Amino acid sequence: MNKEPNPLVALVTGGARSGKSTFAEQYASRLGTGGMYIATAQVYEEEMRTRVRRHLERRERSDFEWETVEEPYRLSDAIKASKHPIILVDCLTLWLSNWLLFYEKEEDPESHVLLKVDELIQTLSERSGTTLLVTNEVGDGIVPEYKLGRQFRDLAGVMNQRIARISRQVFLVTAGIPIELKSREFKLDDGNG
């Protein structure tokens, strides 16, 4: 897809516990006074319930007015339905894993998941408001031992690349420090200059 980056999409990536969500929430508060928070997590255990509660409490303490929507699958529909000028999605890699597990038994789960990614990219490209997307960098560690883990790692990398392509800003958050990458992107000479 050779589309010009949408000036209203920002991708926030980094490792686990790097400060991605906190940064994205703070960035949203600089852009307006309220918006929609789309949570993609599915809570199956107490540890995850605690994480979700901490995120919710942090948003409740802020001056930014959040409407929280839990949507583990139909992310494009939730974005299209929102009337808010600012949407924060947290997080894309959980959404991706939801779909990968949903299609795990299919013959080619990767193709099904990438269709969902393409649908999301189309939705983001057509949206008129600001969309902040939190994701994870999962390919910097050890190669996963199991096939499902390798599929997830590879799909997350492909998804992040595709969404970064249509984003105006891409932030890498490490140790709580956000660095904007898109403005520093090295452009290879296309041979026309």
Residue stretches of the annotated binding site for GTP: 14-21, 39-41, 70, 90
Measure CA 87 to chain center: 11
CB-CB contact of 135 with 13 (8 Å): yes
Look up 84 and say whether it is catalytic: no
Amino acid found at 15: G
State how far the Cα of 189 lies from the Cα of 193, in Å rounded to an integer: 7
Query: Residues within the annotated binding site?
Result: 14-21, 39-41, 70, 90
Phi-psi region of 126 (alpha: psi -120 to 50; beta: other; left: phi over 0): alpha
Catalytic residue among 9, 11, 37, 55: 55
Catalytic residue annotation = 55
